[in-house]
Chain A
Amino acid sequence: MEPFVFFIFSILTLGGALGVVTTKNLYYAALFLIMSFSGMAGYFVLLDAGFLAAVQIVVYVGAIAVLILFAIMLSRKVMTRNEPLLNRQWGLGLATAAIFFFVMLAVPLNVKWPLSNEVSSGNELVQLGLAFLGSYVIPFEVVSILLLVALIGAIILARDTSDVEVE
């Protein structure tokens, strides 16, 4: 059963990723991106990491992808069917993508994938919480401060300066 489900999620992930870069319709590209994200969430479920799966959906589908869709709907001609796939920088893009691909290719070729004998304990949520507030508390706090700064920055940028009260 598991290989079969894995196969379905792989189709979602890879098919979605392929769709993002091949479709000429920008809106479809965003929808394909969501498909790919959903497939990734499926992998996390298969790996007994339900929390990560939910995070994947909440953050990537619920926030980032919806934001992308919203931006497309606001900034483009709404029903534009075709966007050119290539622009003048396609050569540079191809080179960058090729370099990245070969670097990434080196990983599966050089790493042996050892299987851990550890059995999923079933209380991975508790373990995750303890790790966040235990041994990894400083990175965790640094990230939270970073997010807070971004949040406040966004509010300040979006603030309508003409609306500030003059006293």
Chain B
Amino acid sequence: MEALIHWLADLLAKWSWWPFAPAPSATVVVWLVYAAITAFVIAPLAMIVLTWLERKILARIQDRIGPNRAGPFGVFQALADAIKMLTKEDITPSGVDRIAYNIAPAMAAVAAIAVFAVLPVAPGIIGTDLNIGVFYIVAIGAYGILAVLMAGWSSNNKYALLGAFRAVAQLVSYEVPMVLALITVTLVAGSMSTADIVAGQGSGWYFIAIPLTFFIFFVSNMAEVNRSPFDLLEAESELVAGFHVEYSAFKYALIMIGEYVHMLAAASFSAVFFLGGWRGPFIDWAVQTSPLLAVVMGHVYFLIKVGFMIFVLIWIRGTLPRFRIDHLLDFSWKFLTPLALLNLLVVAFVLKLFQPGTSAGIDIPAGPLSGLYLGGWGQTLGLLLGSILVVLVASAVVKAFAHRSKDAGLRAIAAAE
């Protein structure tokens, strides 16, 4: 008991100044406790808030009222649903593969939560500033795919299995343009650390400099987190509920947590990579005068951006119909991937043009336009022009292919334009 109190006191002492510098004496155990608190509090909370938001916004888009019985504006509806979900009978169908069936939901939730370790929420507030942050996000995504595969296979259900097949096809396909978009961001920021990427957006958010990359990242990320119009893994009109059709009660809750936390992660990292993360008016001034104020402001700016991205995700879900599976794969391999490759080349070329004399402390030859760097703004403008050029080339190519297409409908559209 004594030891426990001592340990808790130690924990609280560290908590009070943790935001500004990680305690050098912090043991792994303390960090694990932080991680557990984040996982057990933030993740279910995110799921509850997001389900309510989604239902409410979708209802408004479809000219309905949405949940409005439990509490003001129905805010407690999701909470009631969560409690109901946990008290349901936990059914394990006969014929499932017990080990894989039980591990898969936990893996789905953990894979979704783990990426938050590298999320820079406010100046100085980041779980761990890995120098491979972007790559870490991609690596953790692999376990998300694995969880879907395990759930689909172990359920011993043809719908679940079909869902899992689609999952692999879709997630692996869209990983390619997503990684290419992330490489572009890494090139522009000159670092894979998420904190450095936010810091590098002082002169113009990357949304302004590389809007095409943002589009590629956003679309492929939407597919990665199975959001409509890319929610083919669980297309209810075709597959009942897809890979999680056999799950009930707490395991279903875990899968749902995984799904909504994944969506939150997608929105958060879109904000971090392209919308300047915690950046906003007066934040640079606040960082210099009062770190505490900067942290508060950073949280506010960041949450506004994440909220906006989530709204856009829900908005798209309420607007667009679902893709067909072959169109979905064609879109990734025949359009997004070549586009992302071309975009990467153009961005690398423009960056070389504006290359200042040193990079990461190493002297390298300066680019021919390095005089026009202008504290980053000249480069931003150059990148924007490069993006526009790529869009023009891509649309011309698509048009030319549409004219030659065997699909009469596609030819008619191309001819009409």
* Residue positions of A touching B, CB distance < 8 A: 1, 27-28, 31, 34, 50-51, 53-55, 57-58, 61-63, 65-66, 69-70, 73-74, 78-79, 122-123, 125-126, 130, 165
Contact = CB atoms under 8 A, between A and B. Distances in A.
A55 B179 CA distance: 13
Contacts of B97: 27, 79
B231 interface: no
Contact of B161 (A51, A63, A73, A126): A73
Given A70-B168, A78-B161, A50 B149 contact: no
Nearest to A155: B333
Interface residues of B, number: 34
Interface string B138-173: 111111011001100100100001001100100010
Between A34, A51, A58, the greatest number of chain B beta carbons within 10 A of the residue's beta carbon is seen for A58
Contacts of B130: 50
A130 B362 contact: yes
B132 A50 contact: yes
Given A51-B132, A125-B132, A62 B175 contact: yes
Contacts of A1: 27-28
B141 A66 contact: no
Contacts of A27: 97, 100, 153
A55 B134 CA distance: 12
Contacts of B161: 73, 78
A70 to B, nearest CB: 5
Given A57-B139, A58-B139, A66 B168 contact: yes
A135 to B, nearest CB: 14
Nearest to A5: B28
Contacts of A125: 131-132, 192
B95 interface: yes
Contacts of A123: 131, 360
Nearest to B405: A165
Given A69-B149, A125-B132, A57 B142 contact: yes
B88 interface: no
Interface in B369-410: 404, 406
B135 interface: yes
A73 B153 contact: yes
8 contacts: A31-B100, A34-B146, A63-B142, A70-B149, A73-B153, A78-B153, A123-B131, A123-B360
Contact of B95 (A28, A63, A66, A79): A79
B314 to A, nearest CB: 28
B136 interface: yes
Contacts of A55: 135
B5 to A, nearest CB: 23
Given A1-B28, A55-B135, 9 more contacts: A1-B27, A34-B146, A50-B136, A54-B138, A58-B135, A61-B142, A61-B143, A61-B146, A70-B168
A130 B362 CA distance: 10
A12 to B, nearest CB: 14
A58 B178 CA distance: 13
B156 A66 contact: no
Interface in B117-135: 130-132, 135
B406 A62 contact: no
Contacts of B132: 50-51, 54, 125
B87 to A, nearest CB: 31
A79 B136 CA distance: 33
Contacts of B406: 165
Contacts of A78: 153, 161
A94 to B, nearest CB: 29
A126 B27 CA distance: 29
Given A54-B136, A73-B153, A126-B360, A62 B164 contact: no
Looking at A53, A69, A122, which has the most chain B CB atoms within 10 Å of its CB?
A69
Contacts of A165: 404, 406
Contacts of A53: 139
Contacts of B146: 34, 61, 65-66, 69
Contacts of A62: 138-139, 141-142, 145, 175
Contacts of A50: 130-132, 136
A58 B138 contact: yes
A65 to B, nearest CB: 8
B137 to A, nearest CB: 9
Nearest to B193: A125
B150 A66 contact: no
Sort A-B residue pairs by CB-CB distance and give the 7 closest, nearest first: A62-B142, A57-B139, A54-B135, A54-B139, A61-B142, A58-B139, A50-B132
